Chains A and B, each alone.
Chain A
Amino acid sequence: MRKRTLPLAVLATAALGLTACAGGGSGSGDVSADGQTLTVWIMQGTNPDSEAFFKEVGSAFKKETGATLKVEYVQWADAHDRFVTSIAGNTTPDVAETGTTWTAEFADAGALAPIGDYVDKAGLKDDLVKGLADSGTYDGELYGMPWYAGVRSIVYRTDVFEELGLKAPTTWQEIIDAGTAIKAAKPDMIPFPVPGDAEFTAYPWVWGAGGEVSELDGDTWKSGLASDDSRKGIQFWTDLATKYDLSSSGATTWKETDVLDNFVQDKVAMAIMGSWTPATIVQKNPELEGKFAAIPIPGEDGGMSPSVLGGSHLSMFNTSKNKDLAFQFIEMMTTGKFASEWAEQTGYFPGQTSLLSDSTESDDPLVKPFAEQFVDGGASLPVTPKFGAVQAKKTTNAMIQAILSGSKSVDQATTDAAKEMDDIMNGK
């Protein structure tokens, strides 16, 4: 017996010694985590090739840290429930992809670990896309590492515009003019649908007119939806449907997915859609390839109306046993090679401004306008779980829908919405 164990012991010590030396990898955080596993939750569907992608990431991660990567794919539809039950049942992962509206929510609940120090140490602080960094910051601390995001701008049918000799609109009035021309010439197309169940399509007009959604006044949140400026923006937006008849009756209850479905079916001339939609449009209807382009959402008299940056962070859970390792993974995913690859494969923009130069300098009519909007016209909604509650209750959606269906005037609807928003955000 003794003879056998000795060589084994020697081997074991040698192995340990070797791995101890191999721990210093190329990452900025030297972590040796041989034999450990890092559990990560990623949303399913964003990247059609995610399995291949994460296999690559997994091997690179193992090489760098010695730890195994375990990726679990979560469906968007149930992600929130799964997060909550896992927190309740203590089965949380180390790192997870959190939608930009959830990061603040989980941070407020104390479920996430702050990563500001890690970011500073890695020298990444100044390279983060502002809109994403803002939505990942709660109570002065950074919790969500910007990973990828998209932005909503106007997508329009270039072939239709060309056919009718129209130029892409650059002011609000030009939108009306173009829409009216299209309506006259193409009766079975919807010039500019105004969806009643898509709050992110309404905010640009509020901001573009100079209004605010909700602002912190000392300790109280005050909604700006009922201000004159906001009302002007909302009036313009809903007038497209109610006054100029550029929308359709069905659109009164549309979500963004319905807008996309109808665009794909050749029924829509202009619409507010996300930077992630062009790939889906072409995939669903290949005939539309090359026939549409994007423009930043025009300001009232030129310029740009701000639009929400929607995307995901990578967040670290407080329950993670090896936070250094977790951040190393986060860094690997959100910077450098893997960040660009992910952005390319998914059609989203990376969370690092240094990686954005490719997109901002591109010629692609489906990339550059979105990139412009992303960099110069990005905005974020109030970063507080209380606004999440407002969104759950669909305050803005209900407001727009009531105006579109004629049950409330703009004044009445905005007053009601502002009051409801204040009530919710200041805790009833």
Chain B
Amino acid sequence: MSTLTPPTVTREAPASRVAGGPSPKRLRLLMRTRPWLLLAPALLILAVLLLWPLIRVVLFSLQDYGLREIVSGDTNFNGGANYAEVFADPTLWTVVLPNTVFFAAAAVIGTVVLGTLVALLMANLGSFWRTIVGSAIMVAWAMPAVTGTYVWVWIFDADRGIVNQTLMGLGLMDEPFNWFTNQFTFYGIALLNVIHHGFPFVAITVLAGLLGVSKEMLEAAEMDGAGAFRRFFQITFPSLRQVFSVVIILSTIWDFKVFAQIYLMPGGSGSNREVLNLGVWSYVESFGQNRYGFGSAIAVLLTLVLLGITIVYIRALMKEDEL
């Protein structure tokens, strides 16, 4: 049988049955419950851990919930006032959202492109060099985000950073320039930081995808006479598509929520109002001021937005039967 398309997913009742197996009716029941049984551990963990807290977050978002309410345990419902306040804040629309969206877009594109290129490179290396490169990438991924941010800040430090020192030494700069006060250079540095920290995830995942493509199918296809391009597009690429979808979705979610990498940069913790992003803004406006209800409202809104974006991605990236 030649299977150039990825195998269809549906599992029908097995064609052959071991003698003395369960009756058809029982089998059908088994078929229907088995997926849920297999899902049970995962769903149990998520539900027990997160269902109730998520409900509480929604409940908080409908209250004017501050330190006083935490101490007394009282509730203090104020309807949708928190949500209204979120939408009414001009800073959100003029500074925060544009910064966040553009930064996330640039970061996702940068991370995915760089990560994929690196994965392709690694797939073509001998196992020794692949281990070396892989370990180096791990360093970039494993370096705590806090540390990495400070290192990049040092690199671009106005007075002592290597960038300015080099530029001044080469005569390209007279007065030391503070890269962090300007919105675009600030985010340029943040982008370097986030891409540097994030591309290894893409690289390892895509590499796994590349190497996980079933060799047998490739060989079977080859023996069937399929050309290289055909093999790539009909076998490799579809399985990569699934890998890409999860990588892009998760990268988008994370890059939207970036907080520490911005907060720790000079001026990023609120003193430079032009570089606020969603993570910092929501922190400064809510949790930093003990306004937990307001912060919960922002969290709920953000989750809904990300859910929406994910649905859009899924529609775009994946065919119905692949999902």
Interface positions of A (Cβ within 8 A of B): 84, 87-88, 105-106, 108-111, 190, 196-197, 248-250, 252-255, 258, 262, 265, 267, 318, 385, 388-389, 392-394, 397-398, 400-402, 405, 407, 424, 428
Residue of B whose beta carbon sits closest to that of A199? B271
Judge whether A249 and B270 touch: CB under 8 Å.
no
B13 interface residue, CB < 8 Å from A?
no
Task: Tell whether, in the assembled complex, residue A197 and residue B266 are in contact, meaning their CB atoms are under 8 Å apart.
Answer: yes
In-complex Cβ contact of B70 among A84, A190, A248 (8 A): A84
Q: How far is the CB of B69 from chain A (nearest CB, A)?
A: 8
Q: Are B71 and A253 in contact (CB under 8 A)?
A: no
Residue of B at shortest CB range from A402? B273
- Which residues of B lie under 8 Å from residue A400 when comparing CB positions? 271
A105-B67, A249-B158, A254-B266 are contacts. A84–B272 as well, Cβ < 8 Å?
A: no
Q: Is the CB of A253 within 8 A of B271?
A: yes
User: Quick one: given A109-B68, A248-B176, A253-B180, are A393 and B285 in contact (CB under 8 Å)?
Assistant: yes
B68 touches A108 (CB 8 A): yes
A398 and B70 within 8 A (CB): no
Quick one: closest B residue to A106, CB to CB? Answer: B67
Partner of A197, one of B158, B271, B273: B271
Contact assessment for A250 and B178 in the assembled complex, using a CB-CB cutoff below 8 Å: yes
Main secondary structure of the interface of A (DSSP, over half): helix
Shortest beta-carbon distance from B202 to chain A in Å: 30
Complex Cα–Cα for A80 and B281 (A):
18
Knowing A109-B67, A197-B269, A401-B272, say if A249 contacts B177 (CB, 8 Å).
Answer: yes
B289 interface residue (CB < 8 Å to A): yes
B181 touches A405 (CB 8 A): yes
- Tell me, yes or no, whether B159 is within 8 Å of chain A by CB: yes
Across the interface, do B158 and A248 meet the contact criterion of CB distance under 8 Å?
yes
Q: Is the CB of B290 within 8 A of A105?
A: yes
- Bound-state CA distance A398–B91 (Å) is 14
Residues of B in contact with A, size category: 20 to 34
Contact A253 B267 (CB under 8 A): yes
Q: Chain A residues near B181 (CB, 8 Å)?
A: 252-253, 401, 405
Per DSSP, chain B at the interface is loop
Known: A249-B178, A253-B266, A385-B290. A110 touches B72 (CB 8 A): yes
Q: Does B284 have its Cβ within 8 Å of any Cβ on chain A?
A: yes
In the complex the two chains form, what is the Cα distance from A93 to B267 in whole Å?
35
User: Which of chain A's residues have a CB closer than 8 A to the CB of B68?
Assistant: 108-110
CB under 8 Å from chain A, chain B span 144-180 = 157-160, 175-178, 180
Q: For the complex, what is the distance from the CA of A72 to the CA of B270, rounded to whole Å? A: 31
In the complex, A196 Cα to B285 Cα: how many Å? 20
Contact across chains for A393 and B284 when beta carbons are under 8 A apart:
yes
Chain B positions within 8 Å of A388 at CB level: 289-290
Q: Does B6 contact A (CB under 8 A)?
A: no
Give the residue of A106, A190, A252, A394 whose beta carbon is less than 8 angstroms from that of B270.
A394
Q: Closest residue of chain B to A190, judged by CB?
A: B159
How distant is the Cα of A396 from the Cα of B178 in the complex, in angstroms?
20
**In the complex, B288 has a CB within 8 A of chain A:** yes
Is B66 close to A, CB under 8 A?
Answer: yes
Q: How far is the CA of A262 from the CA of B158 in the complex (A)?
A: 12
Complex: A230 Cα to B72 Cα, angstroms: 40
A196 lies within 8 A of B271 (CB): yes
Set B67, B159, B267, B270: member contacting A84, Cβ < 8 A: B67
Contact A197 B267 (CB under 8 A): yes
Known: A252-B178, A401-B271. A88 touches B288 (CB 8 A): no
Check B284–A109 contact: CB distance below 8 A: no
A398 to B269, CA, bound (A): 10
Contact A398 B159 (CB under 8 A): no
Assess the A87–B71 pair: CB atoms within 8 A.
yes
